[in-house]
Amino acid sequence: MNAWWHQSIEQTAETLSTDLEQGLTTAQALEKTQTYGPNQLKQTPPVPAWKLFLEQFKGVMVGILIAAAVVSLVVQEYADAVIILVIVVLNAILGFVQEFRAEKSLAALKKLASPMAKVVRNGAHQVIPSTQLVPGDLIELEAGDNIPADARLVWITANTRVQEASLTGESTAESKDLGVLKGQVPLGDRKNMVYMGTSVTNGRARALVTATGMETELGKIADMMDKVVDDATPLQQKLEVFGKKIVVLCLVLVGLIFVLGWLHGGELKEILLTAISLAVAAIPEGLPAVVTIALALGVQRMVKRNALIRKLPSVETLGCATVICSDKTGTLTKNEMTVQSVYAGGQWFDVSGQGYAPQGQFSVNGQDVAVTDYPELVQLLKIGQLCNGAQLVRQEGAYSVVGDPTEGCLITAGTKGGVLKDELEQAHPEIDEIPFDSDRKMMTILREAEGGVCAFVKGAPDMLLAECSHIQIRGEVVTLTEEHRNAIAVANHQLASQAMRVLAGAYRLFDRVPGDITAETVETNLVFTGLYGMMDPPREEVKAAIAECLTAGIRPVMITGDHKATAVAIATQLGFYDEKSLALSGHEIDDLSDEQLEAKVEHIAVYARVSPEHKIRVVRAWRKRGQVVGMTGDGVNDAPALKEADIGVAMGITGTDVTKEVADMVVTDDNFASIVAAVEEGRGVYDNIRKFIHYLLSCNAGEIMVMLFASLLGWPAPLLAIHILWVNLVTDGLPALALGVEPLDPLAMQRPPRPPAEPVVTRKGSLTMLIQALIMAACTLCAFAVVLHQGDDPAAMTPKARTVAFVVLACSQLFHSFNCRNLKQSLFKIRIWTNPQLVLATGVSFAVQIAVVHFPFLQQAFKTTPLSLNEWGAILFISSLPLWLVEIGKAVAGRRG
């Protein structure tokens, strides 16, 4: 690859076989089109809809459910089979709808290219579709143009500036020059180059096209995005592992129950039916539905908190995020340059307010002051307004800048002090301008003034100070002494050390318009007025959000294209960079191997001046450490890393179409705090999924224990196959769904993220579930045994005993659902009525259970016998024992903990 920025203009033209005046000939352009192809980004063909739909039926859990439906059909449980198949199809449709929104990222990238381009061919100016550009074309650019291809500048006006934030992340437009660059040069520092997807904000230029289509920097980003493979989310991976374990468990159970029944001389058909029913009971067929509903409800809550989720599983991924890699510009900061400090007449002034809204005050030592009491300050603000080509506009209550953001913030600062640009321009009409250039680093505008002409000058402090002979102090113009120069140098250093951009202001009065208006004749013997210190400030709410992240055990990391000093200053202000932290630049990352970066990554808080490739390397390094990584951003340069991360977060207001299309989540208010709120919701969703799984598996294990222990004791089967399937259906239904809408735990963000490798069901959780299952099984078996042995003929009492066991098992599971609302805190501490959906769900399920026992047509179907009121009272007492015993266990564990 040619490093075009290392070549002179003449070398570039020779390498590209073009002419700097005539451009390419038509024949050359046609020949190069055959070689390089059209200047457009390639798009991967979309996956056919039918294939997307069929892919939804992959996965162990889906396979288990389909097998369960087949088994239900074999045992003639048609209702259960229909319900299971409906669940499978519903989940497939939901997944299909999510994924059918085909990847539009490359199409969005394509929109960034200019549709038409101004080109010189055969020595004539032409306007052609940008897709027809080829390397070697001589293109013309002016303010407002989108740049149609990567190109080496060959001619520019003095004030040519290009907004490259979408590629580099820098908030200010970059000045351009024609000089040859040496050594390793990051994209943001290639002053003699322009790139597709950026735009000209000031000046005019000519450039030789060096790369088109997929060979451009934008094309490389598109290629990286295309190569990034979407991994399964942590929850999807864990449910897959969980499903495989369930398959093994089902096979073992079927075999064990069948063997025990056969050894006790049971009827072969009945044994087989019972074993298969238990296997079906062990399968949590409600799991996919409840997971989907829990995720969907989480999405609805997140929308209310300004977070739009594009992919359902991303809700849960947010909840286990351990690292959030954030872009700086527009994400942690406002992407609005703001004057924060002013030095004039030897006095420091702080300026309040953020962004371009002219709302704020000037203060000295914390006390608000009247700007008019300080003539030097008024003069400096006046220079900032009159040596300025930008405009501050207000639309729909919001302020924005037309022109250079740095000049825009000077207008805002002057307006805050009551020094208004429009009034000043009317009073001081413009005469002429000496534009900014990168050699002088100054800009001058001459205007009419009282008694003559005034040159208003702004520029880099060191360059401007060298041209000053006087200084304005306490309303008087005095000779600039060495002592004054030293004081100004100290003030400049103080501002620069805070990572502020510093501009100086000066002026010179003339009796009349100079005969020769040049930098050499005008920008000398200037009167120094003061310094502006400006910065793209952190968002006010971000510091609190960062603190909440740290409390929640989430590591914030800044990855930006901006300069290291600026990035470190912002990170320090926000509270996640200290003396133990490291900051690396893109050059320093290049010097590290992937293994070295992985070893250091946990200590690095700031990455500055980085490319899209660097961002991907950082994300991958964290993921190799076993961390769940979120990546936020708004520019095109962020898109590949957003796609690589476990959870990609785009900004809704300042974000490009590209980042929004590849992201898993879009923050609609560009507020970092909204990301933290989304993490909280994600934790809540996962908590609810675990509660549901805990409830479901403990209930299913209780059913299995009832049948297993009865077989070991040689008793008649306490439950028929239809009883097992019914109880499973009732407990997998409304109560389980109600647990999926459990309110958020207020302490969710005061605990560290769960370990990424932690399974859905831990060893401790498994032991707890087995104990709770044993309690429910013991209650059911005791009730069955008592009724079975009430008379002399156990065979005659078996139907009633089975009815009692059937009801006790179902009701104990309904009571147990309240235990599962919080696996640590007491139900009475979180209060029963805080989840009214669960109260209603258990009430409806209980009413249905009564109907199964007392409605004649249901009695026949379920082989139940009616129960007396006293028997119901005894059943409810026995069934409630799991609730009380588990709550006592929580209290004992809480005291020990």
Catalytic residues: 327
Helices (H), 714-835: 721-732, 734-739, 763-788, 794-819, 827-830
For 370, residues 6+ apart whose C-beta sits below 8 A from its C-beta are: none
**Do the bridges between strand 347-351 and strand 338-344 make them parallel or antiparallel, or are there none, so unpaired?**
antiparallel
Q: From 575, 559, 562, 566, select the one nearest 499 (Cα to Cα).
A: 566
**From residue 37, how far is each of 4, 31, 42, 134, 198 by CA, in Å?**
21, 10, 11, 8, 22
What values do phi and psi take at 741, rounded to 5?
A: -115, 20
Can you tell me the distance from the alpha carbon of 822 to that of 891, in angstroms, rounded to the nearest whole number? 12
Environment class of residue 895 by beta-carbon count within 10 Å: exposed (0-12), middle (13-18) or buried (19+)? Answer: exposed
Cα dihedral across residues 628, 632, 638, 639: positive or negative:
positive
Contact (CB, 8 A) for 596 and 573:
no
Kindly write down the DSSP assignment for every residue of 107-175, as one continuous string: HHHHHTS-SEEEEEETTEEEEEEGGG--TT-EEEEETTPBP-SEEEEEEE-TT-EEE-HHHH--SSPEE
Of 180, 194, 140, give the one whose Cα is nearest residue 23.
Answer: 140
User: What's at 656, amino acid-wise?
Assistant: T
Which of 642, 641, 671, 631 is closest to 654 using CA atoms? 671
Provide CB contacts within 8 A for 374, sequence distance 6+.
344, 345, 347, 349
If you search the block for the tokens 């990391």, which residue do you land on? 557
Give Dmax over CA atoms of the chain in angstroms: 128
Question: What is the rounded CA–CA span in Å between residue 651 and residue 675?
Answer: 10
- Give rounded-to-5 percent helix, strand, coil for the chain: 50, 20, 30
DSSP for 321-384 reads: --EEEE-IIIIIB-S--EEEEEEETTEEEEE---SSS----EEETTEE--GGG-HHHHHHHHHH
The conformation of residue 754, written as its DSSP 8-state character, comes to P
Q: Are 297 and 741 in contact (CB under 8 A)?
A: yes
DSSP per-residue codes, 393-422? EEETTEEEEES-HHHHHHHHHHHHTT--HH
Buried-exposed string 10-33: b where 16+ CB fall within 10 A, e elsewhere: eebbebbebbbeebbeeebbeebb
Structure tokens of 108? Answer: 């969005």
Per this entry, what is the length of the chain? 897
Q: Are 674 and 541 in contact (CB under 8 A)?
A: no
Of the CA atoms within 13 Å of residue 525, those in its CB half-sphere come to: 6
Distance CA 877, CA 668 (A): 52
Determine phi and psi for 345, rounding to 5 degrees: 60, 30
d(CA 22, CA 104): 39
Considering only CA atoms, which of 252, 167, 317, 186 is closest in space to residue 639? 167
What are the tokens at 154? 């060959």
Instruction: Say how far apart CA 470 and CA 464 lie, in whole Å.
Output: 12
